[in-house]
């Protein structure tokens, strides 16, 4: 049911763990739903120079976290904010329909980390069009 790429990213996830010196950390999801993603970023001059993740969740959640970190690494904050869940899912050669919400979580984890980056600078993330996970499972599952 999973593509080769999903299985590869799940079995050999890239950029796993905590990131020393991270200046942007975001966590989304809810243990009740069975998936939580935490994203750590080191941002210099508005460029994501390094990014890692920790995920509690299913195969698709781990794979989308891994792929998302690869896709934003080296990108500007502005570019990273434009990464959609569909783009992550496509990069993994697709996800089963019932797993699309996992990619939503990856998109929101990035947004959440960057929101933290802006907050640390005394800026309001809302001014940058960032919507952050509200911890309500239905919210993600309704996305698709």
Partner 1 sequence: MIYADNSATTKVKPEVLEKMLPFLQGQYGNPSSLYAFAYDSKRAVENAREEVAKVIGAKAREIFFTSCGSESNNWVIKGVASKYRDKGNHIITSCIEHPAIIQTCKYLEKQGFRVTYLPVDEYGSVSPEDVRKAICEDTILISVMMANNEIGTIQPIREIGEIAKEKDILFHTDAVQAFGHIPINVDELNIDFLSLSGHKIGTPKGIGALYIRTGIKIDNLIHGGGQEKNRRAGTENVPYIVGLGEAARLANENMAKNIEKLTAMRTALVERVLKIPYTKLTGHPTNRLPGLCSIIIEGIEGEALLLNMYNEGICASSGSACSSGSLDPSHVLLSIGLPHHIAHGSLRLSLGEDNEPGDEIKIAEAVEKVAARLRAMSPVWENGKPMWE
* Catalytic residue (choose from 33, 58, 133, 140): 33
Residue 98 within binding range of partner 1, rule CB under 8 A: yes
Instruction: Please say if 58 is a catalytic residue.
Output: no
For residue 93, is it left (φ>0), alpha (ψ between -120 and 50) or beta? left
Length of the chain equals 144
Among 22, 41, 60, 68, binds partner 1 (CB under 8 A): 60
- E strands, the chain, in order: 24-30, 35-44, 47-56
State both tokens at 138.
């239905």
The mark string for 18-57 relative to partner 1 (x by CB under 8 A, - otherwise) is: ---------x---xxxxxxxx---------------xxxx
The DSSP symbol for 16 reads B
For the question of residue 133 being annotated catalytic, the response is: no
Question: Is residue 23 a contact partner of residue 115, using CB atoms and an 8 Å limit?
Answer: no
Q: By rule CB under 8 A, what count of residues binds partner 1?
A: 29
Query: Which residues contact partner 1 by CB under 8 A?
Result: 7, 10-11, 13, 16-17, 27, 31-38, 54-62, 98-99, 137-138, 141
Which residues are the active-site residues?
A: 33, 102
């Amino acid at each position: 049911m999973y593509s080769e790429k999903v299985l590869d990213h799940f079995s050999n996830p890239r950029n796993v763990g905590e990131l020393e010196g991270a200046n942007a950390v975001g966590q989304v999801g809810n243990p009740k739903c069975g998936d939580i993603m935490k994203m750590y970023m080191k941002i210099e001059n508005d460029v994501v120079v390094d990014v890692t993740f920790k995920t509690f969740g299913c195969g698709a959640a781990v794979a989308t976290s891994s792929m998302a970190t690869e896709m934003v690494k080296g990108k500007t904050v502005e570019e990273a904010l434009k990464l959609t869940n569909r783009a992550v899912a496509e990069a993994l050669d697709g996800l089963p329909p019932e797993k699309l919400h996992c990619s939503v979580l990856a998109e929101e984890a990035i947004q959440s980390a960057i929101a933290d980056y802006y907050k640390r600078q005394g800026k309001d993330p809302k001014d940058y069009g960032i919507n952050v996970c509200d911890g309500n499972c239905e919210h993600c599952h309704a996305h698709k």
